[in-house]
């Protein structure tokens, strides 16, 4: 046992810490855990496949929001894309932190949002909504470096979609001008939201990759191949041939390691 390890254990006195083992024993323990983790991953994949088969709810009511350029509709929030995720953030009079800050929890959720270009490449828009005026929202975004579009609620949207008293993400899809609600995540489910994958996994179309178990006709492309630098996506452009070559080689090497 090294001096630093001994010191560390002294600092952890009072904890029912696990045993200190050799590298070989640690690797064996990790392999046992990996079996369980893979089981959980497969179970989650199956759950996401069920989610993509959830029934859709037609949104018949017309909703209005206030944006930086004035009034907009729910359809406008899609920004021309096929899917939309709306997070109800609490930033308004009566919320702890107002007017300097949004809700502590909602601010933490906003800090976790990954670069939006990757969602846009999957024809999906993320938007935030609150009851604060646009001037306050613009200031808050600038102060925190947040870039997601953020609109002001003007009607019963939050009440109608289960986010009038607590935060949550609602997912929608559109067919032309028809809008459908496809899923809803709130409470502890919101804790895992923030990565590109967590956002796409809650949508009707999922990650849109070939390995996914999705209904017939859903858009799908080769895994990894649609990825790009966030400033290099070009709508409708084919995948970068060099990246295809690199990722194919990486996949092949990984498969060889698993033999």
pLDDT in tens, 207-254: 999 999 999 999 999 999 999 999 999 988 999 999 999 999 988 887
- Whether the predicted pLDDT of 4 surpasses 70: no
Q: How many helices (H) and strands (E) does the chain have?
A: 9, 8
Tell me the pTM: 0.93
C-alpha span between 77 and 173 (Å, rounded)? 11
Sequence-ordered list of residues with C-beta below 8 angstroms from that of 187, at least 6 positions apart, any chain: 166, 168
Task: Give start and end residues of each alpha helix (H) in 18-156.
Answer: 23-51, 74-77, 104-111, 116-120, 134-144
The widest CA-to-CA distance across the chain, in whole angstroms, is 68
- Taking only the tens place, the pLDDT of each residue in 94-153 is 999 999 999 999 999 999 999 999 999 999 999 999 999 999 999 999 999 999 999 999
Residue with tokens 């990757």: 118
Residue 1's pLDDT band (boundaries 50, 70, 90)? very low
- Taking only the tens place, the pLDDT of each residue in 136-195 is 999 999 999 999 999 999 999 999 999 999 999 999 999 999 999 999 999 999 999 999
Instruction: Report whether 67 contacts 149 (CB < 8 A).
Output: yes
Q: Beta-carbon neighbour count of residue 85 at 10 Å?
A: 24
Which long-range contacts link 134-138 to residues 24+ away (Cβ below 8 Å)? 134/66, 134/67, 134/68, 136/91, 136/99, 137/91, 138/68
Strand-pair category, 124-130 with 64-67: unpaired
Residue 9's pLDDT band (boundaries 50, 70, 90)? low
Strand-pair category, 150-153 with 70-73: unpaired
Strand partners, 151: 129
- Whether the predicted pLDDT of 5 surpasses 80: no
Tokens for 185, please give them.
């995540």
């Amino acid at each position: 046992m090294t001096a630093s390890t001994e010191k560390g254990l002294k600092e952890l006195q009072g904890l029912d810490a696990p045993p200190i083992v050799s590298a070989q024993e640690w690797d064996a323990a990790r392999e046992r855990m990996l079996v369980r983790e893979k089981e959980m991953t497969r179970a989650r994949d199956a759950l996401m496949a069920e989610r993509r088969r959830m029934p859709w709810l037609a949104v018949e009511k017309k909703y209005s929001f206030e944006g930086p350029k004035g009034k907009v509709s729910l359809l406008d929030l899609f920004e021309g894309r096929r899917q939309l995720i709306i997070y109800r953030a609490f930033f308004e009079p009566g919320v702890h932190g107002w007017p300097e800050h949004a809700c502590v929890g909602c601010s933490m959720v906003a800090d976790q949002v990954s670069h939006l270009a990757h969602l846009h490449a999957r024809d999906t828009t993320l938007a935030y909504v609150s009851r604060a005026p646009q001037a306050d929202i613009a200031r808050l975004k600038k102060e925190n470096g947040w870039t997601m579009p953020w609109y002001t609620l003007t009607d019963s949207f939050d009440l109608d979609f289960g986010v009038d008293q607590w935060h949550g993400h609602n997912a929608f899809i559109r067919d032309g001008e028809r809008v459908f609600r496809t899923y809803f995540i709130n409470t502890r489910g919101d804790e895992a939201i923030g990565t590109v994958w967590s956002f796409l996994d809650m949508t009707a179309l999922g990650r849109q990759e070939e390995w996914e178990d999705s209904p017939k006709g859903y858009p799908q492309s080769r895994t990894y191949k649609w990825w790009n630098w966030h400033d290099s996506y070009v709508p409708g452009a084919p995948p970068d041939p060099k990246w295809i070559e690199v990722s194919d080689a990486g996949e092949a090497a990984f498969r060889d390691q698993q033999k």
